[in-house]
Amino acid sequence: MNNTRLHQITQQGRLLWQRSVETARLMVGVGDYERYREHMLSHHPDVAPMSEAEYFRHCQQSRYPGKDGNIKRCPC
Amino acid sequence: MMSVLLWTGVAAIGALAFAMLALANGETVNALWLVVAAVSTYAITYRFYARFIATRVMELNDRRLTPAERHNDGLDYVPTHKWVLFGHHFAAIAGAGPLVGPVLAAQMGYLPGTLWILVGVVIAGAVQDAMILFASTRRDGRSLGEMMRLEMGNTAGLIGMLGILAIVVILLAVLGMVVVKALVGSPWGVFTLLATVPIAILMGVYSRWWRPGKVGEVSVIGFVLLMLALWYGSVVAQDPQWGQWLDLKGETLAIGLIIYGFIAAVLPVWLLLAPRDYLSTFLKIGTIIALAIGIVLVAPPLKMQAVTRFIDGSGPVFAGSLFPFLFITIACGAVSGFHALVSSGTTPKMLERESHIRTIGYGAMLMESFVAIMALIAACVLEPGVYFALNSSPAVIGKTVEEAAQVISSWGFVVTPEMLSQMARDVGEASILSRTGGAPTFAVGMAKILADMIGGQAMMAFWYHFAILFEALFILTTLDAGTRVCRFLIQDLLGTAVPSLGNTQSWGANILATALAVSAWGWFLYQGVTDPFGGINSLWALFGIANQMLAGMALLLATVILVRMKKMRYVWVTAVPACWILIVTLTAGWQKVFSPDPKIGFLSHAEKFAAAIERQEVLAPARSLQQMQQVVFNDRVDAVMALFFIGVVLAMLVYAVRAIIQAHRHPGSTVSESVVVWRAEQAWREEAVWHE
């Protein structure tokens, strides 16, 4: 097997792993911080983005029933 | 050409599997045939029907920007990779329901349950999920309640919200009862469940202050501790003093659960709710995968008959004949109203392309249905005698293994007292009699399958308590989150009368609303636990009716939307399942209230007991006149609940029909979708403009 092929496979493996981690985190309501930060930097450069810890707390807070009593997960 | 051959092949294999299942003729059938029948059904309907819905009915268009793209804020509205979002959506719709309903339905044999789980998901469940996801995506990710208001008027929206509040109350009570029934007289189970509280708090503190955001890390720590607690639980249960102390009665467990629910719901979410949610979510996904692998590798035979004599409605697990009660009992695995709330929750705000609705809306529900099929398999690999011993109330089978074996054998399901005590020893419990509620049966079945794969007989007790822990953990998370849902709904309602009570920041209002929420479900829970007939009997039926009714409402909404879009040709896609579900829920509701058979009808049952009280006579299994009065009162409250649900669904029907007639008379489309922004234009609007 040549080097580029091997490189491709490890690349794909890494992508698969990243996606799996992203999926598992989103399953419990924690989104992708890097994407959020990039979005804030590119679209709202004048606003300081939340830190990673703040972002995590925000995700936790908004996952569970809030003001309008919305149900985000099937309780049954 | 290749594709024609391929799909003909899939259809042929599926047909063969169905033939094997249906024409078993008294011989045992391997569970793999059930898996093959299910998977080929899913493959064919996903390929053809879901595609038809996506391209013809919805006319999904990837050039049309989704809310996630138009409102991208990096937080709530985020375009998300298709399969990542699929995982998120599946985790959000998969709950304890599909593990309970099919287990109860197994009393009629594996065939009726299998058929409804498959037909139901294809024509109703997956259609509902996909249609509501579609509707919400076209409306900036609006919630079900908002869409009902938007399409059918304010009153319809309010009635819908009241209905949802009542359903959540009944649901929490019934789930609480599943936990209580699984933990009665089980010190091992009680210990592990108690241990989850300090473990979760430790995890909460860890991810709040020490390592915020390290979800994987904290979950691994929690999981290891949980397994240690599970292992140590068997030691504790053996201990003469601790074992006795944790050997609790149903009433004690119910009160404990109510107090726990109150405390958990007023604590900040990061301390207990969120970390336990990590454990229960990952444990659930892991268990589903493990069970699927186990079924395929072990290929267990189905011991249950294809169709039992209990389709006539005389079964001990739940009363009522196949129509309508099978459809009410299976509930979530075939079609679940709550999914309409999830499909109009976070998922539409993260959809990257419209065409993903087919995979995420329709596909994830097919997967959920497969979970229900696995639960049905878990129940049906047990000896039928053991199944009925687990699921019949003591009023029917008595309290000793000898009595139970005699009664159950007289039904034609041969079982010996030794088999029943052996099974109890195998799973490390004092007794397996009358462990109603579905969870213990699922746990025994799963333990049997997994022990065949890993560890053999010696591991069976571990796997049993693992399964109980996984279900109980999951249900505690739901009790906590559900109580919060009720609290906010109650505060909304109270706020309209006394504005200060609607303030969600106020501690006083918060505690008052939480107390009201907990006492509402707590009342039904306690009533169910003390019910001499076992409680699951009446409460699961009420829940099933309510949940299916919500699905009916969602499908009616989808029908109204199709008419407003002027898609009359395709209205049957949602109208047919909506009609079927309305027929089922209304018939079941009516029978539960008015059936002259006291086994089914709440009122005739109350009547029977009231008449006996007049004569100063105590009817078994009640033991005192006071208990008799309790039975009468409970029956009447249950009847009122059922009537309330019927009222809600009829009101929604009226509003839906009115909206349909209005939209039909109108010459053009009257749909209230948010403004269309095409991809090529790259137009960017901060706020959607609504047009009626």
Establish if B88 touches chain A: CB-CB under 8 angstroms: yes
CA nearest to B478, candidates B215, B689, B169? B169
Partners of A71 on chain B (C-beta within 8 Å) are 164, 168, 338, 341-342, 345, 485
Cβ B478–A76 below 8 Å, yes or no? yes
Mean pLDDT of chain B: 93
Spacing of C-alpha B91 from chain mean position: 13
pLDDT at B692 over 70: no
Q: Contacts of residue A73 in chain B, CB cutoff 8 Å?
A: 91-93, 95, 342, 481
Q: Using CA atoms, how far apart are residues B74 and A33, in angstroms rounded to an integer? A: 9
Q: How many angstroms separate the CA atoms of B365 and B130, rounded?
A: 9
Residue with tokens 């509930």: B331
B437 phi-psi bin (left φ>0, alpha ψ -120 to 50, beta other):
left
Q: Give phi and psi for B301, each to the nearest 5.
A: -75, 150
pLDDT-wise least confident of B306-320, B524-538, B553-567:
B524-538
Do the beta carbons of residue B395 and residue B534 sit within 8 Å?
Answer: yes
How crowded is the C-beta side of B680, counted as CA atoms within 13 Å?
2
Nearest of B279, B193, B263, B264 to residue B233 by alpha carbon: B193
Contacts of residue B282 in chain A, CB cutoff 8 Å? 24, 27-28
Nearest CA in chain B to A41: B74
Residue B355 CA to residue B409 CA, distance in Å, equals 54
Is the CB of residue B549 less than 8 Å away from at least one CB of chain A?
no
What pLDDT, on the 0 to 100 scale, is given for residue A67? 62
* Pair B438, B178: CB distance under 8 Å: yes
**Are B504 and A67 in contact (CB < 8 Å)?**
yes
CA torsion through residues B108, B111, B114, B118, sign:
negative
**pLDDT for B683:** 45
SS3 B301: strand
* pTM of structure: 0.94
Question: What percentage of chain B reaches a pLDDT higher than 90?
Answer: 84
Yes or no, beta carbons of A74 and B76 under 8 Å apart:
no
Q: What angle do CA B669, B673, B679 make, to 5 degrees?
A: 110
Q: Cα separation of B62 and B276, whole Å?
A: 38
Q: Do B338 and A75 touch (CB under 8 A)?
A: yes
Within 8 A by CB and 6+ apart from A27, the residues are B87, B88, B91, B281, B282, B285
Q: Rounded to the nearest 5 degrees, what angle is found at the Cα of B239, between the Cα atoms of B236 and B243? A: 70
- Beta carbons within 8 Å of B2's beta carbon, 6+ residues apart: none
Separation in Å, CA B173 to CA B191, B258, B502, B510 = 22, 10, 25, 21
Q: How far apart are CA B309 and CA B315, in angstroms?
A: 8
Set of chain A residues whose Cβ sits within 8 Å of the Cβ of B208: 57
Q: B285 and chain A: CB distance < 8 Å anywhere?
A: yes
- Let me know if B26 is exposed, middle or buried by CB neighbors in 10 A (0-12, 13-18, 19+): exposed
Predicted pLDDT of residue B178: 93
Look up residue B471 and give its two tokens: 């279900």
For A69, which of B80, B93, B492 is closest by C-beta distance? Answer: B492
Decide: B411 and B388 in contact? Cβ < 8 Å. Answer: yes
- pLDDT tens readout for residues A4-28: 899 999 999 999 999 999 999 999 9
Residue B395 pLDDT: 87
Return the C-alpha torsion angle B46, B47, B50, B56, nearest 10.
180
Q: Mean of the per-residue pLDDT values for chain A? A: 89
The pLDDT-based confidence of B690 (bands split at 50, 70, 90) is: very low
Given a cut of 80, whether residue B357 has pLDDT beyond it is: yes
Segment 2-61 of chain A within 8 Å of chain B by CB: 19, 21-33, 35-40, 43, 52-53, 55-58, 60-61
The shortest CB-CB distance from B341 to any of A30, A31, A71 is to A71
User: Please, are residues B559 and B578 in contact by the beta-carbon 8 Å criterion?
Assistant: yes
The mean per-residue pLDDT over the stretch B3-24 comes to 94
Query: Residue A59 and residue B577: Cα distance in Å, rounded?
Result: 36
Taking the Cβ of residue B484 and every Cβ of chain A, the question of whether any pair is shorter than 8 Å is answered with yes
CB B11 within 8 A of CB B44: yes
Q: Give the helix/strand (H/E) hosting B29.
A: strand B29-30
Provide the residue type at B418 as one letter.
E
Nearest chain B alpha carbon to A59: B75
B74 contacts on A by Cβ (under 8 Å)? 35-40, 43
Q: How far is CA B384 from the centre of its chain?
A: 24
Provide the pairing of β-strand B301-302 with B29-30: antiparallel
Tens digits of residue pLDDT in B459-505: 999 999 999 999 999 999 999 999 999 998 888 888 888 888 888 78
- In terms of Cα–Cα distance, which of B430, B434, B427 is closest to B408? B434
Contacts of B488 in chain A (CB under 8 A): 65-69
Is the Cβ of B482 closer than 8 Å to some Cβ of chain A?
yes
| Cα B55 to chain centroid, rounded | 30
- Supply the pLDDT for residue B685: 46
pLDDT, tens digit (0-9, with 9 covering 90-100), for B630-684: 899 999 999 999 999 999 999 999 999 999 999 999 998 998 899 899 987 544 4
Residue holding tokens 């989103």? A26
What is the number of H-type helices and E-type strands within chain B?
Answer: 30, 2
Instruction: Enumerate the residues of chain A whose CB falls inside 8 A of the CB of residue B172.
Output: 75
Across the range B109-121, mean pLDDT stands at 97
Q: Among B171, B207, B488, select the one facing A68 at the smallest CB separation.
A: B488
Compare all CA atoms of chain B with the CA of A49 and give the residue at the minimum distance: B74
Chain B residues in contact with A24 by the CB 8 A cut-off are 87, 215-216, 282
Mutate to test the interface with A, among B84, B164, B209, B371 (most CBs of A within 10 A): B84
Neighboring chain A residues of B338 at a CB cutoff of 8 Å: 71, 74-76
Contacts with A61 from chain B: Cβ below 8 Å: 269-270
> Mean per-residue pLDDT for B59-69?
96
3-state class (DSSP) for residue B210:
helix
In tens, the pLDDT along B228-267 reads 999 999 999 999 999 999 999 999 999 999 999 999 999 9
Residues of A in contact with B217 (CB under 8 A): none
More confident residue, B583 or B627: B583
Helix (H, G, I), strand (E, B) or coil at B64: strand
Alpha carbon distances (Å) from B57 to B77, B180, B395, B635: 26, 45, 51, 44
pLDDT for residue B538: 83
Local structure of B316: helix, strand or coil: coil
Q: How many CA atoms lie within 13 A of B27 on its CB side?
A: 8
Question: Quick check: B85 and A22 in contact, CB under 8 A?
Answer: no
Separation in Å, CA B513 to CA B260, B305, B477 = 16, 48, 19
| A1: exposed, middle or buried (Cβ count in 10 Å: 0-12, 13-18, 19+) | exposed
Is the pLDDT at B446 greater than 50? The verdict is yes
CB contact under 8 A, A74 and B278: no
B688 pLDDT above the threshold of 80: no
The whole-number pLDDT of residue B384 equals 96
Number of other CB atoms surrounding residue B160 within 10 Å = 24
Could B485 and A32 be called an inter-chain contact, meaning their C-beta atoms sit closer than 8 Å?
no
Q: Searching chain B, which residue's CA lies closest to the CA of residue A37?
A: B74
In the numeric block, the tokens 């079609």 are attached to B335
Contact between chains at B274 and A64 (C-beta distance less than 8 A): yes
CB contacts < 8 A, A to B, total 155
Residue B602 has pLDDT above 60, yes or no: yes
Give pLDDT, residue B589. 96
Contact check, Cβ <8 Å, B80/A27: no
Q: Give tens-digit pLDDT for B389-409.
A: 999 998 899 999 999 999 999
- Residue B407 has which token pair? 């009664």
Facing B270 at nearest CB: one of A60, A70, A71: A60
**B286 inside 8 A of chain A by CB:** no
CB spacing of A27 vs B172 below 8 angstroms: no
Using the beta-carbon criterion (under 8 Å), do A69 and B489 form an inter-chain contact?
A: yes
Residue B8, judged by CB atoms within 10 A of its CB (0-12, 13-18, 19+), counts as exposed
> Residue A69 above 70 pLDDT?
no
How many other β-carbons are positioned within 10 Å of the β-carbon of residue B507?
9
- The C-alpha atoms of residue B626 and residue B613 are separated, in whole angstroms, by 9
Question: Distance from A50 to chain B by nearest Cα, in Å?
Answer: 11
Phi, then psi, of B140 in degrees rounded to 5: 60, 30
Q: Which is it for the CA torsion A9, A15, A17, A19, positive or negative?
A: negative
Calculate mean pLDDT across residues B11-23.
94
The answer to whether the peptide bond before residue B324 is cis (omega within 30 degrees of 0) is yes
pLDDT tens per residue, range B175-210? 999 999 999 999 999 999 999 999 999 999 999 999
Yes or no: say if B193 and B469 are a contact pair by the CB < 8 Å rule.
yes
